[in-house]
Each structure stands twice: as C-alpha cells, then as structure tokens.
C-alpha cells in the first residue's frame, strides 16, 4: 500500500519547470531547453537578457575548432554568441559550477562564457561534441573552475554546425552570424 501511495504522490507533484527558448539566426533557428532547477541563477541571468531584448541584433562572433587554436594545449569546439551591445550588460553573476549542478558540457550544451569566476554576463557558448575540459576540474581555464552549463540544444544542431564551419579570422567569425531574436517558447512546446 505504501509504495502505491508513494508512487501516486510522486505523480501528483508538479514537474520542475524547464524553460525553452528559440534563438533565431540568419542561418536557422535553435531550440534550447534550459535547466531551471539545476542552474537557477544562470538560467535567470540568461532570461533577463532575453526578456530585455538584449540578444535582438546580437551575433555569434566566435568559432573554436581544431584548425584555429594552435596555441591552446587543451582543444575545445564551441561557437560563442552574445548581446547586441555589451554596454547593456547586467552585473556579473556567481558561477554555478558543474560540480554543483551535475550538468556536463556535452554535445549541444549551452553555457555562459566568462574570464574569471563570477564574471559571466551576456555572452554564451554552445558545445560542438563533448567538451569535458570545460567542466569543473577541466583544464581549458587555468583556474579549473569550469563554466556554467545551463541548457542544451534540443532542435537545430545542424545550424550550430553550420555556424561553426563559417569562415573565421583566427577565432572571429567573418562575418559574424546575426542573431535575429531570442524569445521564450510556451511551456510544453
């Protein structure tokens, strides 16, 4: 009786909310599932930029791939995008480490770009392939704190790969890929 009752109670509990957003680019649209419950501060930070319209007319400006990081001992593959103007940035947020969230930098992971811990604002990146060196303890950032993973691409990885393959000077996309809009999607979409 108790296991059956427990099962019923678990079914009656609301599922943890997972926000969804669409990132519309000039090359196609990405649909992102955000990890609200696991990385609440990072998701809230990203959504405040979305709600402020900061990503409209933003851009994917960086591609990191095997052929353009000769000086890096630890290689990664990502594309990086951000808001239209950095002067519209909100204050930086505390780093939600993958050690604490349980999230990993796998293919399609959305994560916040940063220099030092607690410095992330509006720039974000998307992993192309699994990138464990970006997790807590990874060697890509010398401080070993990793980056704040907070979502994943659920539709549109072909667009991510198109962006990554675009022409670049060093790691700067030439020209950048325009972000036309980033908007919230209705629950359950």
Average pLDDT, the chain: 91
CA within 13 Å, CB half, 124: 30
Q: Residue 3: pLDDT above 60?
A: no
User: Per-residue confidence at 11, pLDDT binned at 50, 70, 90?
Assistant: very low
How high is the pLDDT of residue 85? 75
Query: Which domains, and CATH codes, for the chain?
Result: 16-185 (2.40.100.10)
Query: Quick check: 135 pLDDT over 90?
Result: yes
Q: Residue 150: what pLDDT?
A: 98
> What is the rounded (10 degree) CA torsion for 17, 18, 22, 27?
180
Q: pLDDT digits over 12-71, tens only?
A: 334 456 899 999 999 999 999 999 999 999 999 999 999 999 999 999 999 999 999 998
Per-residue confidence (pLDDT) for residue 16, from 0 to 100: 54
Locate 51 and state its tokens: 């709600």
- What is the distance between the alpha carbons of residues 146 and 143, in angstroms, rounded to a whole number? 8
Tokens of 143: 């401080």
CB 110 within 8 A of CB 152: yes
For the residues 171-180, what does the mean pLDDT come to?
98
Q: What is the pTM of this model?
A: 0.90
């Amino acid at each position: 009786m108790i296991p059956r009752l427990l099962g019923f109670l678990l079914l009656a509990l609301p599922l943890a909310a997972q926000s969804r957003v669409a990132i519309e680019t000039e090359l196609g649209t990405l649909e992102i599932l955000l990890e609200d419950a696991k990385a609440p501060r990072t998701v809230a930070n990203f959504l405040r930029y979305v709600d402020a319209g900061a990503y409209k007319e933003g851009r994917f400006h960086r591609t990191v791939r095997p052929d353009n990081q000769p000086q890096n001992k630890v290689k990664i593959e990502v594309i990086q995008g951000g808001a239209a103007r950095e002067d519209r940035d909100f204050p930086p947020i505390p780093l939600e480490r993958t050690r604490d969230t349980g999230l990993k930098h796998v293919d399609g992971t959305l994560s916040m770009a940063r220099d030092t811990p607690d410095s992330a604002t509006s720039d974000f990146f998307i992993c192309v392939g699994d990138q464990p060196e970006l997790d807590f303890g990874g060697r890509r950032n010398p401080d070993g704190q990793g980056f704040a993973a907070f979502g994943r691409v659920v539709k549109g990885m072909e667009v991510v790969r198109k962006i990554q393959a675009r022409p670049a000077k060093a790691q700067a996309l030439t020209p950048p890929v325009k972000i036309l809009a980033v908007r919230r999607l209705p629950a359950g979409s």
